[in-house]
Structure 1
Amino acid sequence: MYKVLDGSAHPLAPKEIAIPAMPEDERIWVPQAEGVWFRPMMLNTLQGQWCNLLRVRRAGILSKHLHPQPVHGYVIKGRWHYLEHDWVAETGSYVFEPPGEIHTLTVPEDCEEMITFFNISGCMVYLDENNEQIGFEDVFTKIDMCRQHYIDVGLGADYVDQFVR
């Protein structure tokens, strides 16, 4: 039996993460597409999960996609919706995306900036107009994107390591 002597975690437990959600250094935001960035918060390689902030500073369609696992979102700023639904996720809204649902994320014209926290398990499967797969993202592609971006902006390849568990 393991006995905690000093109030700390089990020695095999991964280290906690405690970081400012909204970084002062713009270089921490990783570009994903024109007018779209993500801020990694936790990149869980053991469970294929990632938590990030998605920031969008342009209107229009971001992507048509599906997730084979559930997704949880919380809108921090702005609003967005899925073309396939009649609801709008606005500041303060919680969104649950069930596995397998196809949806097209869209930011309206009058929204200058949208920031949403997403907790994603599994992957994102990007789809074309015929719902055929055209790409995907998972925790490992996110790590690779972060690593390259942090090299490019002078933070160093290992900057992303603080988010990886």
Structure 2
Amino acid sequence: MSTAAPSARPDQDAVPYAGDPLPFVVDDLVVGGALHEDVDERLWVPQAPGVDFRPLLLNVTQGYWVNILRVRRSGILSRHRHAGPVHALTLMGRWHYLEHDWWAEQGSYAFEPPGDIHTLEVPDDCVEMRTLFHVSGAYIYVDVDGTPVGVEDVFSKLTAARTHYESTGLGLDAVDALVR
């Protein structure tokens, strides 16, 4: 069997792969309408007053989650340290960290390295902020001196989503479908 790279010309035949599937590969996940603003309000899991998240993927086998954070208030959300890398795509509004001079505005992408400690603020002039976050590892919530005061990870996100979805009538299947 050759290990040479395939030619630069992609396969032009509209024929699906016919070989055996690889073992232990989980099913694909597609969340329709993930960015629609008029989705069922029950899909938003309350996190704090004026702060909700919509889970898109809860990967318990690799310890990460993807969600949209929706903030409908201004002020400080949290001070936290990242145990793993975070990718953020701002969909609406704007936010920043008090410790940095950059702003994440609509259409901005931000990478946050493991170990970074910062204080997330949504400014007074922002009516609503929505950001898609891909979070690996955990958020370790800290006080102003860096002393841990709480932890959030894929398992706490899953628990919150299951509790909320069950209480709103969406049911456990609706959130369990997002687990990989």
Structure 1 59/5 Cα, relative in aligned 2: closer, same or farther at 3 Å?
Answer: closer
Structure 1 109/5 Cα, relative in aligned 2: closer, same or farther at 3 Å?
Answer: closer
Q: Where does residue 11 of structure 2 map in the other structure?
A: none
Partners of 2:133 and 2:147 lie apart in 1 by: 24
Aligned pairs for 1:13-162 (under 5 A) are 13-19=25-31, 20-22=33-35, 24-162=39-177
Please identify runs of 4+ aligned residues in structure 1 that moved more than 6 A: none
Partners of 1:112 and 1:70 lie apart in 2 by: 28
Give SS of 2:177's match.
Answer: helix
Give SS of 2:84's match.
Answer: coil
Count of aligned pairs between the two proteins = 162
Partners of 1:137 and 1:91 lie apart in 2 by: 25
The normalised TM-score by structure 2 is: 0.85
Sequence identity (%)? 55
Give SS of 1:134's match.
Answer: strand
Q: Gapped runs of 5+ residues in structure 1?
A: none
Quote the offset at 1:90 in angstroms: 0.2
Partners of 1:18 and 1:42 lie apart in 2 by: 9
Partners of 1:155 and 1:120 lie apart in 2 by: 25
Give SS of 1:50's match.
Answer: strand
How far does the alpha carbon of each residue in 1:11-61 deviate from its partner, in whole angstroms, 9 at most, with x for none? 521111111213511100101000000000001011101000000000000
Quote the offset at 1:158 in angstroms: 2.6
* RMSD of Structure 2 on Structure 1 (CA): 1.6
